[in-house]
Amino acid sequence: DTAKEHFQIVFVGHVDHGKSTLLGRLYADTDSLPVGHLDKVRDICARQGKVFEYAFLFDAFLEEQEQGITIDTARTFFSWGDRQYIIIDAPGHKEFLKNMISGAARAEAAVLIIDAGEGIQEQSKRHGYLLSLLGIRQVVVVVNKMDLVGYSEEAFRAIEKEYRAFLSHLKLEPQYFIPASARNGDNVAARSGAMPWYGGLTLLESLANFVKLPARTDLPLRIPVQDIYKFDPRRIIAGRVEAGQFSVGDTLVFSPSNKTAVVKSIEAFNVPNVVHSVPAGRSAGFTLDEQIFVERGEVASHKDAAPEVSDRFKANIFWMGKNPVPVGGRYLLRIATAEVEMEVEAILGIIDASTLGRGESPERIEKNDVAEVIIRTRRPIALDRYADIDTTGRFVIIEGYDIQGGGIVMEVFKDEQEPF
Ligand code: GDP
């Protein structure tokens, strides 16, 4: 149903805590499986002498959807109410981060799953950290397998208390904590009869309460300039509209050069039709009323809502490179279509991926660390806070010829620096 609103959610949890089972339940209980799928999977289980599991539903469903394509992030959806929930299922936290930072995925909300019997694991903490790093603010924690702890309120409250305390250090406050049993369907789609002490929402109800992030077209205009084609005497500027929309007659400002001009025409290449306006998500070529000199890497916007221009900002980065990052380390930074030399001016804090401890006065960022840093660039660049506009607020870090890290812009400093 294409008329439904799309809503993207990421599901994360320690392996075996019940992610597939919970998803299988959601698909089955919202009637979102293809016709006959449930019976087919039951049949296969019977033939193979296996006990039916809801997890098989989701796994089999995924296999069908994925045939022939290889992707890090499997995407499927279930429908409920007037929404289609698109599931971003990342196999591990590295894939999840990579997908988020590269822009392959944009989660609007997250479901974090914890096994009531096993309690909070390191991975549960890491997932909480990643959500806070990525600025995901709509979070529901599902305490799953409540049937294994006799549906005990005490067991649930203990996990809730401990996890809330941990997340509050990350300034993350989940809106909902839900005691559930994915296997039995308690508090997933239907309210549980086994936990009369719980007066809160079901998982589905909590998801329906989350609000949709603004559509990209409603954000301020951002067109990172990709290329300039010179067909004398005309110059066509090409780029993808990453946010907002623009029309013929609009005054554009290019950052960081701060040059302005009016859009004279918009055209699609090799196609005779001329368009009047272009929304986010489309690429376009356009001409200006004046021959101003702009370069690849600049960002076109409307004058009253231009990006920040700065050579210093605070960021959260994820490092994947073998060589650790020292204070003062120099790399190439790529943000939208701009590339610029950068320096790690300061390392403010590190979450060590193995211990999850925050280094006291960290000197280096090791492989798989997530760190809060201050970055300086050799020249001012156009950028946004990730929380405001994601596509011009995230970047990758290149060492040699390879992407070795990625990050998101948390805060932009205005004061201009001495060039390094
Ligand atoms: P995943 O690795 O997080 O996707 O976990 P699965 O969904 O594959 O579940 C791991 C195991 O836990 C399977 O054997 C499930 O049957 C079991 N499981 C999942 N949810 C529940 C639950 O609510 N109660 C019980 N008792 N077992 C569950």
Q: How far apart are CA 119 and CA 302, in angstroms?
A: 50
- Check the CA dihedral 152-155-158-159 and report its sign: negative
| Ligand 1 center to 330 CA (angstroms) | 45
Q: How far apart are CA 418 and CA 420, in angstroms?
A: 6
pLDDT at 380 over 50: yes
Does residue 301 line the site of ligand 1, with CB under 6 A? no
Q: Return the ligand 1 atom nearest residue 24 CA.
A: 7
Parallel, antiparallel, or unpaired: how do β-strands 176-179 and 251-255 relate?
A: unpaired
Contact 382, 305 (CB under 8 A): no
Burial of 415 (0-12, 13-18, 19+ CB in 10 A): exposed
What pLDDT, in 10s, does the model give residues 227-256? 999 887 789 999 999 999 999 999 999 999
Provide the β-strand partners of residue 252: 261, 302
What ipTM was reported for this prediction? Answer: 0.99
Tell me the pLDDT band of 352, cut-offs 50, 70 and 90: low
Structure tokens that stand for 328 in this block:
């003062």
pLDDT at 42 over 80: yes
Average pLDDT estimate for 114-141: 88
Contact 307, 390 (CB under 8 A): no
3-state helix, strand, coil in the chain (%, to 5): 20, 40, 40
Q: Return the ligand 1 atom nearest residue 21 CA.
A: 7
Does residue 192 line the site of ligand 1, with CB under 6 A? no
Mean pLDDT of the chain: 88
Return the pLDDT at 103: 64
Average pLDDT estimate for 176-184: 97
What pLDDT, in 10s, does the model give residues 62-110? 666 555 433 344 467 899 999 999 888 666 666 676 666 666 667 899 9
Does residue 13 line the site of ligand 1, with CB under 6 A? yes
| Ligand 1 center to 53 CA (angstroms) | 8
Return the pLDDT at 68: 40
Q: Going by CA atoms, what residue is nearest to atom 18 of ligand 1?
A: 18
DSSP string, 98-162: HHHHHTS---SEEEEEEETTT---HHHHHHHHHHHHTT---EEEEEE-GGGGTT-HHHHHHHHHH
Query: Which of 25, 26, 178, 183 is the pocket-test mutation for ligand 1 (most atoms within 8 Å of CB)?
Result: 183
**What's at 385, amino acid-wise?**
R
Does residue 93 line the site of ligand 1, with CB under 6 A? no
Which residue matches tokens 């390879």?
A: 402
Contact 26, 188 (CB under 8 A): yes
Q: How far apart are CA 372 and CA 131, in angstroms?
A: 14
Name every residue whose Cβ is closer than 8 Å to that of residue 14 and which is 6 or more positions away in sequence: 113, 114, 115, 118, 121, 123, 124, 127
| Ligand 1 center to 21 CA (angstroms) | 6
Contact 410, 417 (CB under 8 A): no
Name every residue whose Cβ is closer than 8 Å to that of residue 64 and which is 6 or more positions away in sequence: 34
Return the pLDDT at 360: 62
Secondary structure class of 321 (helix, strand, coil): coil
Secondary structure class of 300 (helix, strand, coil): strand
Select the highest-mean-pLDDT range: 64-73, 170-179, 193-202.
193-202
Secondary structure class of 43 (helix, strand, coil): helix
Task: Please provide the size of the chain in residues.
Answer: 420
Does residue 179 line the site of ligand 1, with CB under 6 A? no
Q: What is the DSSP letter of 329?
A: -
Q: How far apart are CA 22 and CA 25, in angstroms?
A: 5
Q: List the one residue out of 157, 105, 112, 113 whose CA is nearest residue 131.
A: 112
What pLDDT, in 10s, does the model give residues 305-321? 999 999 999 998 888 88
Q: How far apart are CA 95 and CA 80, in angstroms?
A: 27
What pLDDT, in 10s, does the model give residues 388-400? 998 899 999 999 9
**What's at 41, amino acid-wise?**
V
Q: Going by CA atoms, what residue is nearest to atom 16 of ligand 1?
A: 53
Query: Within 13 Å, how many C-alpha atoms sit on residue 405's CB side?
Result: 31
